[in-house]
Amino acid sequence: MTDMKANIIEKAGVLFREKGYDAVTVNDVCVACGITKTTFYYHLKSKQDILLQFYDIIVENLTSLLLKMLHMTTSWDQLQLLFNHLMTNIQQLGPDLNSHLLSVNLQRKEQALRIRKELEEVAVDIIRRGQDSGQFRNQNNASSLYQAAAYMFTGYEYMWCTLNGEFSWNTEFFASLESILDVDPELRTKVKDVPGDSL
C-alpha cells in the first residue's frame, strides 16, 4: 500500500469515527488529506473502498501478535489472543463503520470478510496443537473447526453492530468457541480473563 493511500485511509477513518460514515463525503476526506479528488480516485475507487481496506489492515497487522503467542503456554490462550485482537480492532472502528462494512460487503459481493489464508494457517495450526495436547477435545478437522469459528465470529460481529455495540460480543463468542472446540474444562474459566471484554 502506498503512503498516500494509507494516509487517505487513516484520515478517512478519523473522520468516519468523528462524524459518522454517512456524514463524510469524498470531498471531506480530500480536504483532510490536502489532496484533490483526482488524487483520491487514483488510489481508491470510492468512499466504500476505504471501508474494505480496514479489515485487510487489521489482518495484516498480526506480526506483533504472533510474537506474543510464542510466550503463551496453552493453545486456548493463543486462540483467544488471536480472536481478541480481531475483535478489539473491529470494536475500535465502532458499530457504525462495521455496519457499513458488512453492508458494502453484501452489496458489492466484495468478500472483504472472506477467510484470509494467512490468518487461517495460524489458527488451524493452533487448533491442531490444541487437539494434540488434549486442550481441545473436539477431534474433527482443524480447518473445518476454524471455518466454523470464523463464520460464527462474523455472526456475532453482525449482532454487535445491529445492537449498536450493546452486546457482549467477547463473552458470547468465546463461550460458543469453547463449545465448538470442546475446550478442556480446566481451561474454560480463562475465557473470563480475555482482555477488552468491557462491552
Q: Indicate where the chain has its CATH 1.10.10.60 domain(s).
A: 1-44
Q: Per-residue pLDDT averaged across 28-38, rounded?
A: 95
Q: Indicate where the chain has its CATH 1.10.357 domain(s).
A: 48-193
* Residue type present at position 46: S
Grid-cell match 466504500, residue found: 48
Residue 113 contacts residue 154 (beta carbons within 8 Å): yes
Q: Provide the grid cell at 179.
A: 463449545
CA distance 120 to 136: 17
Domain covering 48-193 assigned CATH 3.10.20 in the classification: no
136 pairs with which residues across the strands?
Answer: 183
Residue 48 contacts residue 66 (beta carbons within 8 Å): no
- Minimum mean pLDDT among 30-44, 47-61, 147-161: which range? 47-61
CA distance 16 to 114: 23
Q: Per-residue pLDDT averaged across 85-101, rounded?
A: 86
- Mention the CATH class of domain 1-44: mainly alpha
Q: What pLDDT score was predicted for residue 20?
A: 87
